[in-house]
Amino acid sequence: MNNLSLRTLIMAGIGGVAWSLEKGLDAVEQLAARGEQAVNRGMELNRELRNRFAPPGRAQIDDAVRAAIAAVNPASKQEVQDLEARISRLEKQLL
């Protein structure tokens, strides 16, 4: 082998290492960028899920209780007093 071909082979080897290093660094940067995107998307999804399934606030609970009570249609204070008076009269009649 002459010196020129040996030199050419050595330079080709060095060039290959340099090219591999450059492409490797580019690949690492691309992977890091994709990793950041994945982490950001995961955090975004986490926030969405927390908001979607968050326990209801105090106002929502109060509204639900009021709606349930209204649906039952409870007796008013006056109606309860009238019933107490009627029961009292009926008890007197029995005794």
pLDDT of the residue at 3 = 64
User: Any idea of the CA torsion for 80, 84, 90, 95, to the nearest 10 degrees?
Assistant: 160
pLDDT of the residue at 34 = 92
Instruction: State if pTM tops 0.85.
Output: no
Q: What is the pLDDT of residues 7-36, one digit of tens each?
A: 888 999 999 999 998 999 889 999 999 999
pLDDT of the residue at 2 = 59
Calpha distance 63→60 (Å, rounded):
5
Q: What is the pLDDT of residues 23-76, one digit of tens each?
A: 998 899 999 999 999 999 999 998 888 877 777 677 888 888 888 888 888 788
pLDDT of the residue at 38 = 92
Boundaries of domain holding 15: 3-94
Calpha distance 60→56 (Å, rounded):
6
- Supply 51's token pair: 């908001």
- Supply 43's token pair: 């955090």
Number of domains observed in the structure of the chain: 1
Q: What angle do CA 14, 18, 23 make, to 5 degrees?
A: 145
Calpha distance 84→76 (Å, rounded):
12
